[in-house]
């Protein structure tokens, strides 16, 4: 059987499975809070992309970005405006030690004081400075790689987790494999501003500022689609797009202090958006929150259930802790929500995540 025929058969089998299965709900009110395992298993089965790009695939939905998609995205740069979407990498970061995550520790190895003292050993008056940084790879603005989360012992593409990530690192889906891949059309969905359109500093009854969603707010598929419709044609979402969702949570942290930003309550995507993430065929998604999905989540006893579905089953790359404030203000001002996004991770061999300084160009 040819490779093309084999791929067609895999796709036909996948579509047949979707058609014959009971589609998971997209209505949060229909979730049984006491039975997360059933909902996670149903969504994983319904939206699983295993073998979609072959048995040896390493990059999942990032396969949706090709040279043609990058070329079209480059044409979106009209003004040359550039926005860094990264938090500062310093000790004044959000981490508080959970899972041994710390903020970046920056240490100088050589300084101007050393040069002035003549202790560096260089000839003819030349001196210099040198430094080092120590940090968990997911302590600030970052990508979650496909080896970051497992579902019942299985990693992306149906591989046993223990054979993928060992003490030597991610042997299969290490972040280095996408170092040149994550460049394409970015789309901002400013859900915070859409649901709270007065972006002043006036507070609503629930204590959240307008333009920002309250902690624990679960963003639904219907709200994502309504936001797209309200923002207009430049925010249409489709195959190969890099979608950014602003809740306003990072803006509040900058204004009021971290206050549980890392690991604490936050607005985020509802578990029921898994189907939308699958059928839109986006390449990756990032948010301005610590955990991408709503916290506390929509079940009584579960931890990051949307992660458990979309990373190891869909093969979706997720970004977290992105600073979307300046970009969002610019998009609101000019009414254009699409841009070229360059968000390459560091090619750290075997890493399951990576810091990133994403650049949006308009």
121: three-class secondary structure by DSSP:
coil
302-323 residue pLDDT tens: 999 999 999 999 999 999 999 9
pTM for this predicted structure? 0.91
- All residues at 6 or more sequence positions from 20 whose CB lies less than 8 Å from its CB, including other chains: none
Domain boundaries, the chain: 3-94+137-361, 105-134
Confidence of residue 353 (pLDDT cuts 50, 70, 90): very high
- The pLDDT of residue 98 is 85
Rounded to whole angstroms, the Cα distance separating 305 from 270 reads 10
205-250 residue pLDDT tens: 565 667 999 999 999 999 999 999 999 999 999 999 999 999 999 9
Category of 51 on φ-ψ map: left (φ > 0), alpha (ψ -120 to 50) or beta: left
Would you say residue 7 has pLDDT above 80?
A: no
Would you say residue 14 has pLDDT above 60?
A: no
74: three-class secondary structure by DSSP:
helix
The answer to whether the beta carbons of residues 330 and 324 sit under 8 Å apart is no
* Whole-number percent of the chain with pLDDT over 90: 89
Would you say residue 283 has pLDDT above 60?
A: yes
Exposed / middle / buried, residue 4 (Cβ in 10 Å: 0-12, 13-18, 19+): exposed
CATH architecture for the domain at 3-94+137-361: 3-Layer(bba) Sandwich (3.50)
- The pLDDT of residue 210 is 78
């Amino acid at each position: 059987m040819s490779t093309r025929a084999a791929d067609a058969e895999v796709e036909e089998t996948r579509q047949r499975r979707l058609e014959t299965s009971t589609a998971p709900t997209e209505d949060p009110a229909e979730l049984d809070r006491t039975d997360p395992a059933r909902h996670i298993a149903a969504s994983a089965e319904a939206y699983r992309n295993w073998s979609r790009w072959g048995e040896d695939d390493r990059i999942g939905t990032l396969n949706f970005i090709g040279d043609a998609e990058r070329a079209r995205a480059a044409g979106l740069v009209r003004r040359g405006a550039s926005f860094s979407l990264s938090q500062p990498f310093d000790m004044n970061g959000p981490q508080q030690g959970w899972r041994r995550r710390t903020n970046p520790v920056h240490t100088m190895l050589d300084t101007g004081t050393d040069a002035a003292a003549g202790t560096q050993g260089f000839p003819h008056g030349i001196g210099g400075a040198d430094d080092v940084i120590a940090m968990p790879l997911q302590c600030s603005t970052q990508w979650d790689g496909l080896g970051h989360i497992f579902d019942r012992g299985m990693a992306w593409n149906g591989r046993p987790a223990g054979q993928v990530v060992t003490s030597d690192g991610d042997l299969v889906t290490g972040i280095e494999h996408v170092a040149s891949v994550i460049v394409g059309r970015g789309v901002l969905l400013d859900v915070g501003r859409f649901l709270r359109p007065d972006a002043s500093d006036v507070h609503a009854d629930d204590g959240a500022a307008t333009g920002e969603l309250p902690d624990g707010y679960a963003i639904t598929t219907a709200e994502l689609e309504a936001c797209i419709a309200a923002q207009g044609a430049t925010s249409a979402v489709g195959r190969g797009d890099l979608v950014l969702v602003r809740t306003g949570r990072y803006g509040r942290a900058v204004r009021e202090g971290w206050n549980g930003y890392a690991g604490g309550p936050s607005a985020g995507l509802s578990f029921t958006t898994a189907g939308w993430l699958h059928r839109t065929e986006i390449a990756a998604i990032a948010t301005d929150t610590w955990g991408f999905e709503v916290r506390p989540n929509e079940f009584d006893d579960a931890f990051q259930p949307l992660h458990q579905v979309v990373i190891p089953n869909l093969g979706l790359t997720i970004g977290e802790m992105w600073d979307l404030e300046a970009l969002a203000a610019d998009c609101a001002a000019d009414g254009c929500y699409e841009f070229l996004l360059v968000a390459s991770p560091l090619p750290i061999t075997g890493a399951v995540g990576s810091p990133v300084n994403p650049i949006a160009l308009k």
